[in-house]
Structures are given as C-alpha cells and as structure tokens.
Chain A
C-alpha cells in the first residue's frame, strides 16, 4: 500500500502543479460565491396559490405517459386564503367550459364509417370540460402506458353523469400533489354552486416549505431579482443538473481529459519509465496506480465545486438534500471511462495528442449512442411506431449499449436522482424525467466498469510486453 499511496501522492502533486487546476478552482470558487449570494423568498400565500392553481389549467394527464400538457377545459382560481396551523385553508373555484364538440379524449367515428344518423353523434357527448377531464383522469392507468392523443380514451354520457364528489376531490387532491408536492385534504362544496361552477374547500400542510411553492429569487444578496417567481425546487434543480452536472461537468471533463492525457506519456518517456520500472514494483501495478492517481484531478475539481455549490445552496435555501453530492462520484466515474480510453491510447502510442483525440471522440460517440438509445426506447414503447421500423437499428443500438460504457445512462440516472429531491411531479413530467425507461445503477456501473477493466487490461498487457 505504501507504493500505492506514493503514486497517488505523486499524481496529486502532478495535478496541482499546473496553473490550469488553480484557474479551474478559482472559477469554481466564483460560481460558489455567486450561488452563495442567492436569496429565496417565499411568495405571499395568495399569490402562491394563484400561481399553483393556474398550472392546473395546463395540467398533464398524469395517468398516461405523455410529454407536454393537455389543455384542460376548466378554469381554476382561489379565494379566501388564510393561515391554518402548519398550512393554509382556501376555497378553490372551478369553472368548466361547456363543450359542444368532441375533444381529443373522446372517441370519434372514422370518416368512412359515418352513417346518416351520425350527424347527431356529437350531441350525446355534450357536457362540461371539467367532468370530462376528471373522467379521463380516473380511467388512465400508468401501467397501461397510454398516450391520450394516440389512443383516445372512450368515455360515455352515463360515465360523465355518474362521477362522484369523491372522484372530483381525489382529482383536485392529486393536482395539488402533482403540481406543488403539496399534501391536501379536499371537500367539495355543493351548496350555492351550480354546474358548470364547482367549489372545493382545501386544507394544505407543509406551509411554504413544499417544493412547488413559488419563490422570489434574487442574486447578489437581493440586488437583482428575477421578474417571475419560480419554484424553489425548480431553481435548485436547474443549478444542480443544468449548470453543475451539465455545463460544468462537460467543461470539467473536457479540461481533465486534456490535462491528464499527458500523465501516462510523460511517465513513459525515456529516463522516466526506466527509473520507475527499476523500482520494486510490477508494471501492472504501476499503470493501475497511475491510472487511479490520474482520477485525482477530476476528483479534486468535482469535490471542491459540487461540495461548495451544495453548501452554498443549502445554506441559502434551507434545503439540505444530500443527493446532489452523488455528482462527485458519478462525474469521477464518468471521467474514469474516458481516462481508461486515454490510458489505452497513451500506452500504445505514447502520444498525448492521440490520447486526447481518442478520448474526446469516444465521449461524443458514447453520447450519440446513448441519445439514439433513448429515442429508440421511446419508439419501442409505442407498438404502432415500433412496427413501422425495421429490426436491425434496434438490434444495433441495443448491442452497442450492452457492450459500451453507459455514459448517457449515468447522466440520466443522476438527473433523475437530482429531480427526485427537487422537482414536483409536474415539473418532472414536463422534462419527461418520470416517463423515461431507466436502467439500473447496477447494470450501468457494471458494464462501464467492465469496459474500464478491459481497457486497462489491454494497456497493462502492452506495457508488460514492451521493452523501454
């Protein structure tokens, strides 16, 4: 172990030698300071609930698997919002549009099947938009993988009439949960309201600490405020996933690939490798230790940046969710894949330039494979679309995905993990986060690790056979 730690320490020294690591750390520190100047002020309850129920009008039919929103033919507003213990009490008013035509969620006869009597067909589906919406919602089941636009849900006039108050209440309850992560109790108020007007008494819990509560976000300690309130979780997610795990990670990976690409070729220089091989240390050990040592560069950078951002965000927002810290090992592991390719190229060619080009090209290739795989998985989930395509592209993409490191999957899984701690269900749906198919962490890490092992094994084989 003494030799392992010696090489680790040597790699750390090598990583800290150049100015680039310091430039990166300074940049990270500036980002951390900037994020540390963020202020999150919860919106006033009346404004907050108006904002929340306003989203109900563009709600997603969350029972199905659908990206985007399904326009609802009902309008929501709140009144009489007042504080109530750990939450609020309010009245939710719904005004349904009268429907004179059939909307997308109701089956229609095909053009060729129309008969004379069908002219009156639309009339029997007349009703209000709110009832229609609640009925479709009750009939959609996630496990049926339904797409309301492609596979319309059949509803009948009798079903519309027979909806119960409990079904309305459940729908409203679900909307608060879905859009604001808010646990509520709902009671329909019938007295004094005639359809298409509906009223519900709603009692919420969790106060302003729910993830869907809109916040006024200010930068530089209140110097500049965003014009529109944003959900706290959505802001945190944007910073964590898009800024740090997206742009920041790509930048860190690229710079790390470039800088660390010199480590192995430098080690293999005449006069340097002689000295190392003459020490009582196996060549395989030497390369593996050096490889692990090379990972210290990105680990230092990631640990500093992610740890700092996490601390700044948590201190300013009060959300001490640890899931963001997963980015440190994930990003280090992602780099480990690219560094294995870089090491392979370095041992075979002893050229830093070739190592950089190969690692970057491989990263782009993996991203494309992962992206295409995601698209093909979406196509697969729809039988009709699936049948229209030949088999071989699916086989090719699946095979590549099975043998190559899961670069894109790691990103998807991390995004999902980050969203779980920050976003509401509606926000996840808008980003399709909760409707994608996800591989397991085990298979993703396992296949990637196997790839790394193969790359290193080939590199060690070459190093052991070569005369220096």
Chain B
C-alpha cells in the first residue's frame, strides 16, 4: 500500500511554479528521502501533503486519503523545518498540548510523554521552560512531539538540523528503530551522508521537477565505468585500449589502476580480451560507484537554486514561508 502518492502535482504562486508535475510513491515501512537545493520545492511538497499549502493541480494521497484531510492528519506526525515552539511551555506541557490536539487521552499522555522524551534524550529537562533549551534539544523535542501519538507516517523536515554528531547518530538509530516497528518515514534533509545511510529510496527535486528517483543502490551505481588493476610490474596498454575506442585514464589516488569508460552500446569484453591476448593479468575489476553526494551534485550541477514562494513585495515583512 502506498503511504504517500502524488500524481502530476503542481503548485504555483502567481507566476512562480514551485512544483511541476511531481509524481512519486512511498510504500509502507520505507524511509524515503527527499533531496533538492534550496527552493527546489521540497517543503512545499511536504506542506501540500499535510494541508498547510493547497495544491494547484494534480493529486496527492496520504494513506489512501486526500492529503491534508483532518482524519489523515491524525495518523501523521510532522516536524517542520524552523519550528517555533511557544516559549511559555515546558517540554512536558508542550507535548501535553500537542497530544491533546491529536486526541491522545490524558492517561496515555501521562505515560507516553516521559517515555517519548526519554527516547529522544531530553526527559531530564522535560519540566524546564523551552526558552532554556538549546537548538539541539528543541530539535529532539520536535521529533518527540511528532512521535507521541504513534503515527503511521512520520514526516521530518531537516530533523538533524542543529544537532551535534552524536545526536545525529542517535536520531538515525531512532529512525531505524521506528522503521523496524513498521512506521513509514518521509525525510527531507540536506545531509546527504545521512540520507545515504538510512534511506531506502530517494527522490531529487530540481526547480520543482522530480529529476531522479530510486533506491540508493540504483542511484549511486555508475553504469559503463570500470576500475582495472594489473599484476604488479605489468604495464597497462593505454594506447591499444584507446585505439579500441575505450577512453582510459589513470587513477591518481590508486597507482597501477586505470579507469576505463565504455562507449555507448559496448561492454568491457573487448578490453578484457585484449589484455588477455597481451598476457596481462587483471587482479582488480570493479564497476565504479559514486556517493549520493556525487549523484546529487551531478544532477543539480549548473542549476540555479529555485524559488518556491511568491516574490516579496518591497517593504512587507513575512515571518512565514520561504522554505525549501
């Protein structure tokens, strides 16, 4: 069952097109990462799913219901980017407030609030005013409030923002644990290393368009480039291989290793045959992979950051909006 499904989703702010026909599907139990530059439309997509922003055209379904409906929001936990919790609350009272809005009974709240805060590591400060919390603590509190009502889908917009490296690891572990329990997590993050570590699938948005989508393995695989290494003392026949029509370049950080790129429609077989005929022994052959960061950089290279909000009128202060 698709937990999130969008079909040809469009969002325009006046003349600005924030989303241009985005279609994606998130299955139950996945951790799904959404990547993109600032202004690519990531936050707009999340806000449409939650009914915070209204879609212009297309369809968005959450748990098989129209996105943003009140019933479906009851089954979703959400951590917004740049959240602003009221300073007059303590961690506990804020959880109690949001828990009440979700309809969690008082007895359950009393039991679950300390448990959830313990899970994110701030139970010791739950009766302190939020204004005394560090940014990382507020972030953990934000995650906790998204989990309190045990939602089927958890949408996290930059969950590790402001959190120290240890905290990030804890949050990653927490997400893995939630996944094991059957929760679906929709994650929006700039930290590509983290996304690569925990996400099952990833989508890349660029200026409102979905430009790449797939599993981490699929995205990071580089088709047509091989790294070859010969036995020590043997010389790689660069000219001969090049004459076959295969570009070759030495690997500067791996002496004795060469990168061979396959022309369109060809396999590595002719190169292997040539090396064999020349009596050379191949001790290393691997299809080159790239990091998610490489994929991302390659995908968005040269593109200008997008804008997903209406341009501000001169002199008007707008405290909200302007996310990714």
A residues with a Cβ closer than 8 A to B are 2-3, 5-7, 9-10, 13-14, 16-17, 265-266, 268-282, 350-351, 467-468
Q: Contact: B101 with A6, CB < 8 Å? A: yes
Q: Contact: A467 with B53, CB < 8 Å? A: yes
Q: Chain B residues with Cβ under 8 A from A16's Cβ?
A: 88
**What are 18 pairs between A and B in contact, CB < 8 Å?**
A9-B100, A10-B97, A16-B88, A265-B319, A270-B319, A271-B81, A271-B83, A272-B83, A274-B78, A275-B145, A278-B73, A278-B80, A279-B101, A280-B70, A280-B71, A280-B74, A468-B47, A468-B320
Q: Contact: B73 with A13, CB < 8 Å? A: no
Chain A CB within 8 A of B89 CB: yes
Nearest CB of B to A276, in Å: 8
Q: Contact: A13 with B89, CB < 8 Å? A: yes
User: A13 vs B93: C-alpha distance in the bound complex, in angstroms?
Assistant: 10
Q: Contact: B85 with A272, CB < 8 Å? A: yes
Q: Chain A residues with Cβ under 8 A from B320's Cβ?
A: 268-271, 273, 350, 468
In this complex, how many residues of chain B approach chain A with their Cβ under 8 Å: the count is: 38
Give the nearest-CB partner of B44 in chain A: A467
Q: Chain A residues with Cβ under 8 A from B71's Cβ?
A: 280
Q: Chain B residues with Cβ under 8 A from A13's Cβ?
A: 88-89, 93
Q: Contact: A5 with B78, CB < 8 Å? A: no
Residue picked from B47, B319, B322, most chain A C-beta under 10 Å: B319
- Supply 5 further A-B pairs (C-beta < 8 A) apart from A3-B101, A467-B54: A6-B100, A275-B80, A279-B98, A281-B101, A467-B321
Which of B84, B97, B323 meets A6, CB within 8 Å?
A: B97
Chain A CB within 8 A of B82 CB: yes
From known contacts A6-B101, A270-B319, A275-B78, infer whether A468 and B53 are also in contact, taking CB-CB under 8 Å: yes
Q: Contact: B321 with A274, CB < 8 Å? A: no
From known contacts A2-B100, A10-B97, A13-B93, infer whether A278 and B321 are also in contact, taking CB-CB under 8 Å: no
Q: Chain B residues with Cβ under 8 A from A2's Cβ?
A: 100, 103
Q: Contact: B82 with A271, CB < 8 Å? A: yes
From known contacts A269-B319, A467-B47, infer whether A280 and B73 are also in contact, taking CB-CB under 8 Å: yes
Q: Chain A residues with Cβ under 8 A from B318's Cβ?
A: 350
Nearest CB of B to A371, in Å: 37
User: A271 vs B103: C-alpha distance in the bound complex, in angstroms?
Assistant: 21
Chain A CB within 8 A of B52 CB: yes
Which of A3, A268, A270 meets B100, CB within 8 Å?
A: A3
Q: Chain A residues with Cβ under 8 A from B103's Cβ?
A: 2-3, 280
User: A17 vs B93: C-alpha distance in the bound complex, in angstroms?
Assistant: 13
User: A6 vs B322: C-alpha distance in the bound complex, in angstroms?
Assistant: 30
Nearest CB of A to B296, in Å: 26
Residues 85-139 of B at the A interface (beta carbon under 8 Å): 85-89, 93, 97-98, 100-103
Q: Chain A residues with Cβ under 8 A from B145's Cβ?
A: 275
